[in-house]
Amino acid sequence: MTHDLLISAEVAFGLVLLVVLVTIAYFLLRRRIIGRGNPLMLVYLKNSTRARTGFLAVAPDEVQWFPFLSLRLRPRYRWRRGDVTLGTPQPVTGQRFATLAEPLAVDCTVGLATYRLVLSASDYTALRSWSESAPPGLNANVA
């Protein structure tokens, strides 16, 4: 009887361990798929209802926001380059943003919607540069 119980416990432990390893592997693979060779930033996004942690993938003509803990491979938000307007950054303090180096909060307006982004200073600089530059392939005179 105890032998059967021990085997059942070992099988249950093995299944739990397998589920944990598969979940970790999926999230690592998901992060790689989301990036697709483009820059990926850790961003806290607050819209009118709630604040969430996620990834901001910067593609040549758009940015895509993916929730951090989600199984989806499609972005929750997708913003085209010409539609994004970034406000003035403000320094943020607090334990919640300890994962970000020099966190900055900035309002991001896309059409009629306004989002509050909290991201690191270097990621803000990259996002600001992206939003103010011409997309690749556009024959624009910058001088």
In this predicted model, what pLDDT tens digit does every residue of 67-81 receive, in sequence order?
988 888 899 999 998
- Give the containing element (helix H, strand E) for 117: strand 113-120
- Determine how many CB atoms are found less than 10 A away from the CB of residue 115: 18
Distance CA 39, CA 94 (A): 26
For domain 38-143, is the CATH number 3.40.50.1370?
no
In the predicted structure, residue 137 carries a pLDDT above the cut 70: no
Residue 31 has pLDDT above 90, yes or no: no
pLDDT over 90 for what percent of the chain?
43
Residue written as token pair 């093995």: 14
129-135 contacts at long range (C-beta below 8 A, 24 or more positions apart): 130/58, 130/63, 130/81, 131/81, 131/84, 131/85, 131/86, 135/60, 135/61, 135/81
The answer to whether the CB of 34 falls within 8 A of the CB of 108 is no
The tokens describing 81, both together, are: 């380059």
User: What residue ranges do the domains of the chain occupy?
Assistant: 1-35, 38-143
Is a pLDDT exceeding 80 seen at residue 124? yes
The confidence score (pLDDT) of residue 94 equals: 72
pTM: 0.77
Quote the Cα angle for 36-33-49, to 5°: 100
36-58 confidence digits (pLDDT tens): 888 899 999 988 778 889 999 99
pLDDT score for 66: 94
Measured between alpha carbons, how far is residue 76 from residues 55, 71, 73, 79 in Å?
10, 11, 9, 10
